[in-house]
Structure 1
Amino acid sequence: ARVPRFQMPDDEDLPQFFRNLPFQFQLPEQPQERGPMRGVGSGFIVSADGVILTNAHVVDGADEVTVKLTDKREFTAKVLGVDKTTDIAVLRIAARDLPYVRIGDPKTTKVGEWVVAIGQPFGFENTVTAGIVSAKSRSLPGDSYVPFIHSQIFSRSGGFQGLAFAVPIDVAMQVKDQIQHDGKVSHGRLGVAIQEVNQALAQNFGLKSPTGALVASVEKGSAGANAGLEPGDVILKLDGKEISRSGDLPPMISSLKPGSKVTLDIWRNGSPKQLTATIGAIKDKTIADARDKETLGKAKLGIAVRPLSADEKRSTDLDHGLVVQDVAGAAERAGVRPGDVIVAVNNTPVKSVEELKSAVDKSGKTVALLVQRNDARIFIPVTLG
Structure 2
Amino acid sequence: MAQSHPDVPPPMHRRPHWPSAGLIASLLLLSGCANGLPRLPDLPGLPGRQERGNVRISDAPPAPPLQPSNNVIVDAVEKVGPAVVRIDTTKRVINPLGGLFGRGPTIQQQQGQGSGFITRSDGVLLTNAHVVEGASEVSVTLPDGRSFTGKVLGSDPLTDVAVVKVVATDLPVAPLGDSTRVRPGEWAIAIGNPLGLDNTVTAGIISAIQRTNAVGEGQRVPYIQTDAAVNPGNSGGPLINDRGKVIGINTAIRQAPGAGLSFAIPINVAKQIAAQIVERGYASHPYIGVRLQALTPQLAREINATTDECTLPEVNGVVVVDVMRGSPAAQGGLKPCDLIEKVGGRGVRNPSEVQLAVDQGRVGEPLAVVVRRGSGTTTLTLRPAELPRQE
369, 373, 384: which one pairs with 1:268?
373
Partner of 2:117: 44
Partner of 2:264: 166
CA distance in 1, matches of 2:350, 2:188: 23
Unaligned 5+ residue runs, structure 1?
1-20, 286-324, 326-385
Partner of 1:319: none
Q: Report deviation, 1:248.
A: 2.4
Partner of 2:85: 23
52, 55, 59: which one pairs with 2:132?
59
Partner of 1:194: 292
Partner of 2:388: 283
Superposition RMSD in Å? 3.3
2:251 corresponds to 1:151: yes
- The residue type paired with residue 327 of structure 2 is S
CA distance in 2, matches of 1:202, 1:103: 44
Matches within 5 A, 1:323-338: none
Superposed CA deviations along residues 337-366 of structure 1, whole A, max 9, x for unmatched, are: xxxxxxxxxxxxxxxxxxxxxxxxxxxxxx
CA distance in 2, matches of 1:151, 1:142: 13
Q: Report deviation, 1:267.
A: 1.6
Partner secondary structure for residue 228 of structure 1: coil
- The residue type paired with residue 180 of structure 1 is V
Describe the shift of the 1:215–1:162 C-alpha distance in structure 2 as closer, same or farther (beyond 3 A): farther
Unaligned 5+ residue runs, structure 2?
1-82, 96-103, 224-248, 302-310
Describe the shift of the 1:257–1:200 C-alpha distance in structure 2 as closer, same or farther (beyond 3 A): same
CA distance in 1, matches of 2:374, 2:277: 43
Partner of 2:207: 133
- Determine if contact 2:91/2:135 at 8 Å carries over to the other structure: no
Describe the shift of the 1:202–1:40 C-alpha distance in structure 2 as closer, same or farther (beyond 3 A): same
- The residue type paired with residue 264 of structure 2 is A
- Determine if contact 2:297/2:313 at 8 Å carries over to the other structure: no
Describe the shift of the 1:165–1:199 C-alpha distance in structure 2 as closer, same or farther (beyond 3 A): farther
CA distance in 2, matches of 1:30, 1:63: 7
- Determine if contact 1:111/1:134 at 8 Å carries over to the other structure: yes
Q: Report deviation, 1:189.
A: 0.6
- Determine if contact 2:87/2:140 at 8 Å carries over to the other structure: yes
Scaled by the length of structure 2, the TM-score of the pair is 0.58
- The residue type paired with residue 268 of structure 2 is D
187, 191, 195: which one pairs with 1:118?
191
- Determine if contact 2:343/2:370 at 8 Å carries over to the other structure: yes
Q: 236-245 vs 53-62, which deviates more?
A: 236-245
Q: Report deviation, 1:154.
A: 4.0
CA distance in 2, matches of 1:232, 1:257: 26
Scaled by the length of structure 1, the TM-score of the pair is 0.59
- Determine if contact 1:115/1:133 at 8 Å carries over to the other structure: no
- Count of aligned positions: 262
Partner secondary structure for residue 54 of structure 1: strand
CA distance in 1, matches of 2:123, 2:115: 15
- Determine if contact 1:197/1:246 at 8 Å carries over to the other structure: no
Describe the shift of the 1:167–1:270 C-alpha distance in structure 2 as closer, same or farther (beyond 3 A): farther
Matches within 5 A, 1:173-212: 173-198=271-296, 205-206=312-313, 210=316
Partner secondary structure for residue 370 of structure 2: strand
CA distance in 1, matches of 2:174, 2:265: 16
Describe the shift of the 1:245–1:137 C-alpha distance in structure 2 as closer, same or farther (beyond 3 A): farther
- The residue type paired with residue 84 of structure 2 is P
- The residue type paired with residue 144 of structure 1 is G
CA distance in 2, matches of 1:109, 1:166: 12
308, 326, 333: which one pairs with 1:228?
333
Describe the shift of the 1:222–1:30 C-alpha distance in structure 2 as closer, same or farther (beyond 3 A): same
Q: Report deviation, 1:142.
A: 6.1
CA distance in 2, matches of 1:44, 1:29: 21
- The residue type paired with residue 47 of structure 1 is R
- The residue type paired with residue 267 of structure 2 is I
- Determine if contact 2:130/2:160 at 8 Å carries over to the other structure: yes
- The residue type paired with residue 266 of structure 1 is V
CA distance in 1, matches of 2:272, 2:321: 29
Partner secondary structure for residue 291 of structure 2: strand
Describe the shift of the 1:194–1:107 C-alpha distance in structure 2 as closer, same or farther (beyond 3 A): farther
Larger Rg: 2
CA distance in 1, matches of 2:189, 2:160: 21
CA distance in 1, matches of 2:250, 2:336: 32
Describe the shift of the 1:160–1:49 C-alpha distance in structure 2 as closer, same or farther (beyond 3 A): farther
